Amino acid sequence: MSPDDLDQIMEIEPVAFGSHHWSQTSFINELSNPSGYYFVVTDEATELLCGYSGFWLIGEEAHITTLAVRPDLRRRYLGELLLINDIERAQSVGASWLTLEVRVSNYVAQNLYFKYGFKNLGTRRKYYQDNDEDALVLWAENIRSDEYKKNITLRLEDLAAKMRVSDMGLIPTALSENVQNT
């Protein structure tokens, strides 16, 4: 993610997160945060920013702070691609576990996270300011273990096969080419 991406990110942010979303200034601050790692996935042909994600690395914990996809591009595995990228990047910078919060009503996101080994640790009451909705606190541990890495490799291969047959033309086997970081 770079400052040049922020105009397109600000088109997605309020739709994805409601009225209490991050501001452009928040993203600018995050891009200079030494603990922050932020990524985008773009359509290289059109230069359309399709989605973005990021995490903070605090000790051995990678806390996923944001993950969003353009509404018209959802259900095309881009969120999953971004999540895999976050996991692999977190592993590479020394994280041993991942955490995040997700709306209790966001079953689609929860199912994605559960597929990648996240477990529900509890609830943060009235976490979301736009409607006082609760958040589930999710946790994935031992992400540097051989077993976890093998699971990610298998999921990535499955995702690549799904995306090859989709109408997107975006193949995650070239993950580093499609997902760009700061």
Q: What is the structure's pLDDT at 128?
A: 81
Cβ atoms < 10 Å from Cβ of 34: 7
Output the six-digit token pair for 61.
């914990």
Rounded to whole angstroms, what are the CA distances from 135 to 120, 124, 168? 10, 5, 32
Residues of the chain with pLDDT under 70: 165-182
Cα–chain center distance at 4: 19
Q: What is the structure's pLDDT at 107?
A: 94
Contact assessment for residue 128 and residue 103, using Cβ atoms and an 8 Å cutoff:
yes
At 42 the three-state DSSP class reads: strand
Q: What is the Cα–Cα distance from 1 to 11, expressed in whole angstroms?
A: 15
Active site residue 113: yes
Output the six-digit token pair for 131.
């409607």
At 153 the three-state DSSP class reads: helix
Range of the domain at 146: 3-181
Q: Which CATH number goes with the domain that contains 97?
A: 3.40.630.30
Active site residue 101: yes
Report pTM: 0.86
Q: What is the Cα–Cα distance from 75 to 88, expressed in whole angstroms?
A: 22
Q: What is the structure's pLDDT at 171?
A: 38
| Active-site annotation holder among 101, 128, 133, 141 | 101
Q: In one letter, which amino acid is 125? A: R
Q: What is the structure's pLDDT at 165?
A: 55
Work out how many domains the chain is built from and give that number: 1
| Active-site annotation holder among 37, 38, 77, 113 | 113
In the chain, what's the furthest Cα-to-Cα distance? 43
Q: What is the structure's pLDDT at 170?
A: 44
Q: What is the structure's pLDDT at 166?
A: 52
